[in-house]
Amino acid sequence: MSAPPSREQAVACSNSTRSGFAGVGPGSPPAHYAIYALTRPGAELAGRLARGLSRSGGADLYLPRRLEKDYAGQAAYFERVSEALAGNFQLYRGHLFVGAVGLAVRIVAPLLKSKKDDPAVVVLTQDGRFAVSLLSGHLGGANDLAREAARLTGGQAVVSTATDVGGLPALEVLARDHQLEIEDFSRLAAVSRCLVDGERVPLYDPGHWLWPHLQAWAGRFELQPDPPEPGRGPHLRVDYHLGAEGDPEALIFRPRVIALGLGCHRGLERRELEELIGDSLAEASLALKSVAVLASVASRGREPALLELSRLMGRPLITYSKEELGRIETPNPSGKVLERIGVASVCEAAAMLAARTDRLLISKRKSPSATLAAALFDWKSSGSVQAGSTA
């Protein structure tokens, strides 16, 4: 069991907010689990779980203060479990509560934000016979955590999500696992409901970014050669182009297939880069959430604006040496850039190199202190971004 965080850390975490450039890239998830028990038998079960989860990121044990003598140095202690859970809620990847489901519901309810932000919550009966996936079964991982907890206790996992019960795909999990990002989570329920009701769901996936991962359920989807017209009913659209955002029945998945090459003067403001990216992508009808990587020259790898943008977007910043960039033929080389930093192209060469392609989606665009280009790559053929240095 790892040392639990301090109360100050927990409060700081619970009061923090996650930020993102135009909604891209939530912050990294917490590192491990928290386990709570209210009684002595529950504490014994919680201790077994903590030891068993040591290979899955570790777990911290939280117990009533009256049990401090029995578990000295092995746990953190609370006067009220509701206060402990509230302070810890966003600090951990998942929470396991040994006690009554009803009590857990009352404690957790005021803390909820959304299915893409809330951590997993699993409730175990005091005898370990049942492990109930209570919250964030799919994206938060509560279904898997309940199964693991049941394995450790010799009990039975209780999973109630309709797609799991029906042997159907959890679309948000497929998206997460295959470099796809959901544009609007509020549209997910309608598509999932169609699947549960036995309907075939229209799917527009011109790049086959999702379709290969749906083969086990191929009969539940109807592959479309063209985007479904508005009014067709709930449907899936997998595309890096803008379009259909105004159709409330379109569940849009964005494949992360765009490499953004960026050049900049030292000391530029992040806001200028954000505006250049936003304007350039919008003009080309490309989705911001389809950006997979930012790329630049090595001499700009520690530029604060680039690093901050990378952090806010949740996308890596990859840099290449002047020699690597100089080997790429680009449509708009610059003598001034060559004279200033020793290579004729930064943004175009970096985008093409990162995407492993010789074609551009967006040729060089300029702002007063920055340049941008974009290239498309295919995860299925390239497998990954062209190796460089990660800032």
The DSSP-derived string for 10-25 is: HHHHHH-----GGG--
Alpha carbons 128 and 47: distance in angstroms, whole number: 12
Q: Are 259 and 292 in contact (CB under 8 A)?
A: yes
* Structural domain ending residue among the three candidates 160, 179, 195: 160
Is pLDDT above 80 for 62?
yes
Q: Average pLDDT, stretch 333-337? A: 89
Say what the pLDDT of residue 21 is.
42
Residues of the domain holding 203: 171-255
Confidence of residue 388 (pLDDT cuts 50, 70, 90): low
Q: Average pLDDT, stretch 165-174? A: 91
Q: Are residues 140 and 104 in the same domain?
A: yes
Q: Average pLDDT, stretch 9-21? A: 31
Q: What is the identity of the amino acid at 70?
A: D
Question: CA quadruple 77, 83, 85, 86: dihedral positive or negative?
Answer: negative
For residue 2, tell me if it sits in a domain. Answer: no
- The H or E element that residue 356 is part of is none
Residue 354 sits at the vertex; the CA angle it makes with 350 and 357, to the nearest 5 degrees, is 95
- The H or E element that residue 331 is part of is none
Range scoring the smallest mean pLDDT among 57-71, 143-157, 264-278, 369-383: 369-383
Q: Are 220 and 202 in contact (CB under 8 A)?
A: no
Is pLDDT above 90 for 335?
no
Nearest CA-CA partner of 277 in 330, 289, 266: 289
Q: Are residues 14 and 90 in the same domain?
A: yes
For residue 1, tell me if it sits in a domain. Answer: no
Predicted confidence (pLDDT) per residue in 176-233, tens digit: 999 999 999 999 999 999 999 999 999 999 999 999 999 999 999 999 999 988 888 9
Per the structure, how many domains does the chain have?
3
How many other CB atoms are found less than 10 A from the CB of residue 290?
24
Confidence of residue 25 (pLDDT cuts 50, 70, 90): very low
Q: Are residues 320 and 242 in the same domain?
A: no
Q: Are residues 34 and 152 in the same domain?
A: yes
Say what the pLDDT of residue 385 is.
57
For residue 166, tell me if it sits in a domain. Answer: no
Residue 320 β-bridge partners: 297
Q: Calculate what percentage of the chain has a pLDDT beyond 70.
A: 88
Say what the pLDDT of residue 4 is.
53
* pTM of the model as a whole: 0.76
Q: Are residues 317 and 340 in the same domain?
A: yes
Q: Where are the beta strands (DSSP E) in 75-192?
A: 76-78, 94-98, 120-124, 130-135, 156-158, 180-182
Nearest CA-CA partner of 36 in 61, 65, 68: 61
Strand order across the 235-238 sheet: 180-182, 250-255, 235-238, 201-204, 221-223
Q: Are residues 22 and 50 in the same domain?
A: yes
Q: Are 123 and 99 in contact (CB under 8 A)?
A: yes
Q: Are residues 251 and 273 in the same domain?
A: no
- The H or E element that residue 368 is part of is none
Q: Are residues 226 and 286 in the same domain?
A: no
Q: Average pLDDT, stretch 23-46? A: 74
Residue 374 sits at the vertex; the CA angle it makes with 272 and 332, to the nearest 5 degrees, is 90
Say what the pLDDT of residue 10 is.
35
Range scoring the smallest mean pLDDT among 1-5, 71-75, 154-158, 360-364: 1-5
For residue 165, tell me if it sits in a domain. Answer: no
Is pLDDT above 90 for 129?
yes
Q: Are residues 62 and 179 in the same domain?
A: no
Domain CATH number, residue 303: 3.30.420.180
Q: Are residues 216 and 305 in the same domain?
A: no
How many other CB atoms are found less than 10 A from the CB of residue 342?
14
Q: Are residues 248 and 268 in the same domain?
A: no
Q: Are residues 211 and 231 in the same domain?
A: yes
Is pLDDT above 50 for 237?
yes
Range scoring the smallest mean pLDDT among 69-73, 275-279, 362-366: 69-73
Confidence of residue 390 (pLDDT cuts 50, 70, 90): low
